[in-house]
Structure 1
Amino acid sequence: MEHTIRFFAGVAEATGHREYTVRLQEGATAGDLLAKLQADFPAAAELLGRCFVSVNQEYADRATVIREGDELAVIPPVSGGSGNDPRFEITTEPLSSDRLIRKVSNPYAGAVLTFVGTVREFTNGQRTLHLEYEAYPQMAVKKMAEIAAEIEAKWPGTQVAISHRIGKLEIEEAAVVIAVATPHRAAAFEAGRYAIERLKQIVPIWKKEVWEDGSEWKGHQQGPWNPLAHPLE
């Protein structure tokens, strides 16, 4: 089987490819794919060994069998397109909290809460010049919708909208805006916090911090966290 693999963020930089074509045997797994890529890109082998594979825009464990026609991507172990539902988007344009509020406002809502994540200049004494965000847009929007479904199940009557900006962002610019509308105010605070934590966990978005003396891809999908689990449930 011949497959074209999509690479993002640090993996794209380490391999020098945004897309890469490989041949796999019938019955090959996601683990076999990563092993093949490690052999093809020895300089990036350590990084690839910590990556996830997505199959048809879903996180796959390493035993998942890859089939003809599957859409494959390598998801870097860091975090931190528009679909059919206009409440969820990846965009290069400046974000507007007012626009998201209009998407969730409804006659049954007694509270509308917005969260705006912005680019800060100093982190632990280190000065950031700017951030560069990258995403797997189709999968990101799909995962945003999944987060909304989780929230609507936990807090009935809640409406959720999420927008995340990609590209180069300057200090103080908004990177993400989340709006939740709930019948009562307590649920708005709870649902808003749940939304941003889940976004950090499962949505394939990465940021590159550019400092005065270097840069690094950083984020939240790193370390022991398993994206196939749901720790907040």
Structure 2
Amino acid sequence: MEVQWTVRLFAGLAERLGGNEVRVSSAEGGMTAGKLKALLAERFPSHAGLIHASFVARNEVYAADDEPLESGDELALLPPVSGGAPENAGEDELASEDGRFILTYKPLDADRMLSQVIVPEHGASLVFVGTTREWTNGRRTVHLEYEAYAPMALKTMRQIDDEIAAKWPGTRCAIAHRLGTVPIGEASVVIAVSAPHRAGCYEASRYAIERLKQIVPIWKKEIREDGSEWIGEQQESWNPTAPAAE
């Protein structure tokens, strides 16, 4: 019996492979995430390098290459992240139920995110704001464009908060990321952290932004005066399933 999967594509992969999804068929049984990538690399040989550097997401969770795939799985092929539009572009904002994790087309509000983490027992709080810079290595950026696998992005933001709470007990984290076009000087990401003491607060804030860039399925396209480029595609060894660095 033959099984058919629809694989969603994002960022540079969607552009290179000619659409937002691709269909793959295989005999029932024996299909793995690694075999799926091999089939796609065979079908699109000129983009094999990027396909092999990408990760399959199975039901909104990163899948190792040896993980089996089953009929009915929701699949996506995610290129290396550069960690930024949800699939429902009609919504201006998507947020977790508690409001601590947000994807939005609207300008970010640092005070709003800070209010999500302030609690009476904490004596330290920090807000990290990442903005669009105009010049990088002598090349002028016009603006940035962000795209995300929205439901999985919200899940992995929550994962970061869980990891922080395990490493620094009691610490709270809130993350908001901009989608769509972000002009020069505007914020693309806001991370708010609060903790009982300042040392843990500094450490957790740094951990949050580095982990976001590693595991959250958000992609950044840099629109420059001399062309455009998806940032992250050059990461041949990207592995979002690897343990977080200590």
- Which of the numbers 43, 49, 52 marks the counterpart of 2:52? 49
**Paired residues of 2:214 and 2:240 also in contact (CA < 8 A):** yes
Q: How many residues align?
A: 233
- Which of the numbers 217, 226, 232 marks the counterpart of 1:213? 226
- Cα shift at 1:220: 8.6
1:19 aligns with 2:16: no
The two structures, once aligned, show a CA RMSD in angstroms of: 1.6
- Cα shift at 1:229: 1.0
What are the superposed Cα offsets for residues 9-59 of structure 1, whole Å, 9 maximum, x if unpaired?
A: 000000111122222222201111112222333333232122111111111
- Report the more deviating stretch, 167-176 or 84-93: 84-93
Q: Which residue in the other structure is 1:192 paired with?
A: 205
List structure 1 segments (4+ residues) > 4 angstroms apart after TM superposition.
Answer: none
C-alpha separation in 1, matches of 2:159 and 2:243: 12
Q: Which residue in the other structure is 1:60 paired with?
A: 63
- Cα shift at 1:201: 0.6
Q: Report the residue type matching 1:7 in the other structure.
A: L
Q: State the TM-score, normalizing by the size of structure 2.
A: 0.90
Q: Which runs of 5+ in 1 are unaligned?
A: none
1:3 aligns with 2:5: yes
% identical equivalent positions: 56
- Cα shift at 1:221: 8.6
- Report the more deviating stretch, 75-84 or 192-201: 75-84
Q: State the TM-score, normalizing by the size of structure 1.
A: 0.95
C-alpha spacing 1:223/1:139, structure 2 compared with 1 (3 Å):
same
Task: Write out aligned runs for 1:135-214 (5 A).
Answer: 135-214=148-227
C-alpha spacing 1:84/1:2, structure 2 compared with 1 (3 Å):
farther
Q: Report the residue type matching 2:26 in the other structure.
A: L
Task: Write out aligned runs for 1:36-115 (5 A).
Answer: 36-80=39-83, 81-115=94-128
C-alpha separation in 1, matches of 2:242 and 2:149: 20
**Paired residues of 1:14 and 1:43 also in contact (CA < 8 A):** no
C-alpha spacing 1:154/1:60, structure 2 compared with 1 (3 Å):
same
What are the superposed Cα offsets for residues 118-175 of structure 1, whole Å, 9 maximum, x if unpaired?
A: 0000011111111111111111110110100010111111111001011011000100
C-alpha separation in 1, matches of 2:235 and 2:101: 24
Q: Which residue in the other structure is 1:228 paired with?
A: 241
**For 1:104, what is the secondary structure of its paired residue?**
coil
**For 1:226, what is the secondary structure of its paired residue?**
coil
Q: Report the residue type matching 1:47 in the other structure.
A: L
